[in-house]
Amino acid sequence: MGKRIIVTGITLTILLACFTGAEAKQKDWDDQALIQITSVMEKPDLEITNWSLYGKSTTGFVSDFTGYVKVVESLQAKSSNFQWEEIVESDKHWSVTGSNIHSSGIKERVSVFAYPHKSHYKTYIIYEVEGQDWLNHKWNSFKSIFRDKVQLFLGESPSIYTCVQGEQSDTMGIVLQKRAEQLVQSFNATTIEALHEETFLSLSAYTDQWKHSILTDQQEMNLQIGIRTHGIGGKTTITIGTPIITTEY
């Protein structure tokens, strides 16, 4: 796994679709995981560079492109302040995205996807928010907006994915395995599996501090950690996600 792992756009949607029957359903979503992850990563030598929340919901089935357009138009009516792109069609897969930048600088995106499923098309909606830095007061001013948008766009019990990325100075010559163990202990988690290379480490774990989880290989997991070094004197990139990482690491 020498190459960076990327989960974005349609790739993300396909990945999330694979969790049918084992999704991290969160009827009563709260920001406990986001606050806990950012608290763990707010260290003197560690700077948070990016954080994101992904909400995903299956809206149902449509019979044709006209039905898909109706789903899109219904969503557009709920998000008049969003700028919408043109619908993209690729091998009978349809997608469209609308975006908005909140006054706090937090970016919002909502996307509608449709995929052939037997004689119909299965539709998904993904609502994403992203910030380039972490300030508690910014999040506190946006939290209720996120909660309202999740309910508006995704309905009840959506799947919510949290991811935070930061950079740490490598002047201490940090050992990946040791840093990973420290992070796992910070969440009172148990490691399920790990992949360790010279400059990269990725592990999956489980903590009972969070209610949501997914099932993989007959084991529950709700924490992923990725650590990558960039050479002597360079920085170390740390990415933490729940229940899985949904961004490049």
Query: If pLDDT is split at 50, 70 and 90, which confidence band does 116 have?
Result: very high
User: How many CA atoms are closer than 13 Å to the CA of 154, on its beta-carbon side?
Assistant: 26
Residue 174 placed within a domain: yes
Residue 90 placed within a domain: yes
Residue 140 placed within a domain: yes
Q: Which residues of 13-51 are buried (b: 16+ CB within 10 A; e: fewer)?
A: beebbebeeebbbbeebebebbebbbebbeeeebebbbb
Residue 248 placed within a domain: no
* Residues found in the chain: 249
d(CA 162, CA 222): 10
CA 194 to chain centre: 20
| pLDDT tens-place string over residues 167-214 | 987 655 567 888 899 999 999 999 999 998 888 999 999 999 998 888
Please give the tally of structural domains in the chain: 1
Does the model's pTM come out above 0.75? Answer: yes
Query: If pLDDT is split at 50, 70 and 90, which confidence band does 234 have?
Result: confident
Range of the domain at 211: 9-242
**Could you tell me which residues come within 8 angstroms of residue 29 by beta carbon, excluding any fewer than 6 positions away?**
147, 150, 158, 160
Residue 99 placed within a domain: yes
Residue 214 placed within a domain: yes
**CATH code for the domain of 235:** 3.30.2030.10
d(CA 241, CA 224): 5
Residue 1 placed within a domain: no
Query: If pLDDT is split at 50, 70 and 90, which confidence band does 232 have?
Result: low
Mean pLDDT, range 135-152, rounded to an integer: 92
The CA-based angle 68-113-241, given to 5 degrees, is: 155
Residue 230 placed within a domain: yes
Q: Encoding tokens for residue 162?
A: 């949290």
